[in-house]
Chain A
Amino acid sequence: MSEYGKPTTEKEFDSNFEQIKPVMNATEAHYESSRCLYCFDAPCVTACPTGIDIPQFIRQINTQNISGSAKTIYDSNWLGNACGKVCPTEVLCEGACVYNHQDVKPIEIGRLQNFATDAVIERKEQLYTLAPKIGKKIAIIGAGPAGIACACELSLMGYDVEIFEAKEKPSGLTVYGVAPYKILNEEVLKEMEYLQDQFGYTVHYNQPIKGMEDLSRLEREFDAVFLGIGLGETRSIRIEGETLENCVGATEFIEELKMDHLNTPVGKRVIVIGGGNTAMDAASESARMGAEHVILAYRRGKDEMGAYEFEYDLAKAVGVKGVFNIQPVEILGNGKVEGVRFIRTKVENGKVVNVPGSEFTEACDMVVRATGQAKQETFLDQIDGLELEWGKIIVNEHFQTTNPKYFAGGDAVNGGAEVVNAAAHGKVAAKGINAYLSGS
């Protein structure tokens, strides 16, 4: 089936993973921005988790006030550039565009957002003047979208910010997890560099915060701590054969692929287990990496998949075959994966029930488990007084945890959502930290 050969050069990789939202040129941006109706109390703004004043930034593009436009975006969202590309705009701003009600193509808000922010990043334009230092230090654990957003906001207010990042690159899943056809790694990292240059916070890479000792040190040395730790590794599905070679977790598979475009092993017949957006990504990416058959196996019906419809469409478009109402019973193989034994299921009163005697085997040479990421309870349990619910950190409206010195945001709080949600949390949490430390 595969229309994609296994990429052997970066050029081939880029071609297999052609950008689905390429950056606009000035002409396209001009005409597209001209179409915006400038709605009153615009629904696109309401739909944006960071509440960017979208009609305003589009108007600024149209009046060639590109720096002003980028500032409008960054005023609300510190990952303005990345979000333009990686946001599920189809279900957020663009999905809310009133043009949809008229069967007119909605404004390409994401790409316009990218156009404006690209310009200032390219020019390394300093859009903000930092407030004088107020002599207070904040530690941020995790340089993901929530942590970076929090760092930018705090730095702007005059705080000294240090970020502790376990990995060697900033932006979390934006660089390690987002599908390559949505954004290029260098684009993500350019914005990260742009932000750090502008706000001057420190990032300690390869410095995971592991246990009590690390935490106590942070509590001693810093006035507040922000937890932007995201989620852990792919959860086990607790069936036989999970440890076979070529049975991988989706998060880990995608991360490897993102970091090494050409040498990440991908099978010829790949089975992806799961029905969320990560499953769609893993399936799409397998196909684009040259897999000949990619099956997406989901234990419920198609309509119950957690993935956005457009994400499933993207996977289907590259030849991924969805098979529904089946769940794996055992991963077969001798050392290496050779197949998956499934059983058919049906949904009764909302619950998945196996259909007795319906087992069958599907041959494959790779299994990708896209069955969700584990929570980081073991680590979080070490923080004094920090309460969790289903493994998620409990926070108030200021994103302050039940231990007042700790704030949190992003996937660790919402259990796994979009970059834009994390960016929104980080910003609000920064304001919360400021209110907490200034006693207001």
Chain B
Amino acid sequence: MADLSINFAGIKAPNPFWLASAPPTNSGYQVMKAFDAGWGGAVWKTLGVPVVNVSSRYAAVSYGGKRMAGLNNIELITDRPLADNLREIEEVKKRFPDHAVIASLMVETREQWHQIVRDAENAGADGLELNFGCPHGMCERGMGSAVGQEPEVLKTIVGWVMEVAKTPVIVKLTPNITDITVPAIAAQEGGADAISMINTIQSLIGVDLDNLVPYPNVDGKSTNGGYCGPAVKPIALNMVKNCAQIPNYKLPISGIGGIENWKDAAEHILLGAQSVQVCTAVMHYGFGIIRDLKSGLSRYMDEKGFATIDDMVGQALPNTKTWEHLNLKYKVVASIDEDKCIGCQLCYTACEDGAHQAIGLSGEGDYRIPHIIDENCVGCNLCSLVCPVEECITMERRDDGTEHLTWKERSDNNNIPTTFNDELAGGRGHWIPKPEDALKTGHYDKFK
């Protein structure tokens, strides 16, 4: 059995699954319930000068019959008095001494930072997370993502915290920035012990088409919020990877963003996260999902021979390169398994209208199984992505694996296209139908 326990920048936890600072960690009641269910840690809903929240706070993107593919919120930090939160942190720590309780903090002045750091640590917090990420409401007041977007300010505030902090300090970064590595480096320079990412992405979920008010509706008006949930995972993974690949970077990363099941968590870890934080999935399904998270990750680690989380951290990073280092000689071509094909022809229309016209139809009677036109196939994967049948369309390797040539190497050898009509254009020689032939397909005549 794999060992799921972690020591994240000195914060110990029985497993890497922490609740992110958010509504599920608003109270001691929730955190105790979560620990009882099996969560390894919790980052408390951000403490600070209590706010006043609005009514109607969330809105979501539903997709393909699935609710909450993406969630947007305009809720602020805790609206409960600090003393209540501190008392409950103390109670939780007493009852669950081996679980990680991290206090998320957000205040303005140096004095306030000093005070709240001491208060949180005195209450028994195992660590601190500085909320430099909240992209709505608080940033208008010069906090949250306003700090995360100003590396110098971020560094200064981290410095203030480090003046008094005795427990590990995590800096939570905002994704609402061009290059996440800049604030990540600033956090290290300021003396922080770890970073976490991503906070929510500034967003506007949609507009109510009846009354022309964006969601969520607060008395006929709305505002931008922070986006999270399954939809943001790819953005989070890329940012985790970017930080994990900063040369000579020392700080451990807590991965946040779109983690709903063990596979999402495993991906964050393989790209460099040493702990993971979950919010939206709990807001959707409750604390019970921890069972799948733990059992799935544990089974996967056993299967792959990872004895500890540390063994697994960053294992996909060597396979994550910049584009110029990819092998231009690698060649795959789609292949359709005729036994599995159900004849929906989505691959055909996707390739025909959306890619490289490399799939053909027999055109004979009821026979609906498309075929790949090998010489036109650029190996883009699109057909295999739209295919509704598992493993019906696979990408088969066609090069013999002996050649390796990257853009970087070609570039170094002056073997890249440099003029507009260069002979070296990659698409030269690819078959493209004549524009006029489009009008002869008759594909859309039927319903004109």
**Shortest CB–CB separation between residue A31 and chain B, in angstroms?**
5
Chain B residues contacting A9 (CB-CB under 8 Å) are none
Inter-chain CA distance A41–B342, complex, in Å, is 13
A167 in contact (CB, < 8 A)? no
Does any Cβ of A come within 8 Å of B323's Cβ?
no
* Known contacts A53-B447, A98-B343; A40 and B349 CB within 8 A of each other: yes
CA distance A99 to B344 in the complex (A): 9
Q: For B427, list chain A residues within 8 Å (CB).
A: none
B388 interface residue per 8 A CB criterion: yes
CA distance A20 to B345 in the complex (A): 32
Is A40 touching B65 in the complex (CB atoms < 8 A)? no
Could you give, for residues 28-45 of chain A, a 1 whenever the CB lies within 8 Å of some chain B CB and a 0 otherwise? Answer: 001100110111110101
B395-448 at interface with A (beta carbon < 8 Å):
443, 446-447
Indicate if the CB atoms of B342 and A40 lie closer than 8 Å. no
A39 near B346 with CB under 8 A, answer: yes
Residue of B nearest to A64 (CB): B209
| Residues of chain B contacted by A41 (CB below 8 angstroms) | 345, 443
Tell whether B368 is near chain A: CB-to-CB under 8 Å: yes
The answer for the CA separation of A4 and B141 in the assembled complex, in Å, is 72
B65 touches A30 (CB 8 A): yes
- Are A38 and B343 in contact, with the CB atoms below 8 A? no
What class of interface size applies to chain A in its complex with B?
A: 10 to 19
Contact A35 B65 (CB under 8 A): yes
- B345, B389, B447: the one contacting A39 at CB < 8 Å is B345
Q: Is the CB of B345 within 8 A of A102?
A: no
Beta-carbon contact of B64 and A40 below 8 Å: no
CB of B65 within 8 A of CB of A101, answer: no
Residue B348 at the A interface, CB < 8 A?
yes
Known: A37-B388, A53-B447, A56-B447. A43 touches B343 (CB 8 A): yes
Within 8 A of A (CB), among B335-363: 341-346, 348-349
Contacts of A102 in B (CB 8 A): 342, 388-389
> Within the complex, what minimum Cβ distance (angstroms) separates B447 from chain A?
5
8 Å CB interface, A22-74 against B: 30-31, 34-35, 37-41, 43, 45, 53, 56
Residue of B nearest to A51 (CB): B446
Q: Contact at B64–A34, with CB atoms within 8 Å?
A: yes
Residue of B nearest to A100 (CB): B342
Q: Which residue of A lies closest to B341 (CB)?
A: A101
Measured CB to CB, the closest approach of chain B to A48, in angstroms, equals: 12
How distant is the Cα of A35 from the Cα of B66 in the complex, in angstroms? 11
CB contacts (< 8 Å) of B443 on chain A: these are 41
List the B side residues contacting A37 at CB < 8 Å.
344, 346, 388
CA distance A56 to B444 in the complex (A): 12
Q: Which residues of B contact A53 (CB under 8 A)?
A: 446-447
Chain A residue contacts of B65, Cβ below 8 A: 30-31, 34-35
B275 → chain A, closest Cβ, in Å? Answer: 35
Cβ distance B121 to chain A, nearest Cβ, rounded Å: 49
Docked Cα-Cα span, A34 to B66, in Å, equals 9
Say yes or no: B389 contacts A40, CB within 8 Å.
no
Complex contacts, B345 vs chain A, CB 8 Å:
39-41
Q: Which residues of chain B are within 8 angstroms of A34 by Cβ–Cβ distance?
A: 64-65
Across the two chains, which residue of chain B brings its CB closest to A46?
B366
- State the CA gap A43–B342 with chains docked (Å): 11
In the complex, what's the smallest C-beta–C-beta distance from A46 to chain B, in angstroms? 8
Q: Bound state CA distance, A99 and B446, in angstroms?
A: 23
Min distance, Cβ A64 to any Cβ of chain B, angstroms: 9
Q: Are B447 and A99 in contact (CB under 8 A)?
A: no
Q: Are the C-beta atoms of A101 and B342 separated by less than 8 Å?
A: yes
> Which residues of chain B have a CB within 8 Å of any CB of chain A?
64-65, 341-346, 348-349, 366, 368, 388-389, 443, 446-447
A-B contact pairs, 21 of them (CB 8 A): A30-B65, A34-B64, A37-B346, A37-B388, A38-B346, A39-B343, A40-B344, A40-B345, A40-B346, A41-B443, A43-B343, A43-B368, A53-B446, A53-B447, A56-B447, A98-B342, A98-B344, A98-B368, A100-B342, A101-B342, A102-B342
On A, residues with C-beta under 8 Å from B are 30-31, 34-35, 37-41, 43, 45, 53, 56, 98-102
Q: Which 4 A-B pairs have the closest CB atoms?
A: A34-B65, A40-B345, A40-B349, A101-B342
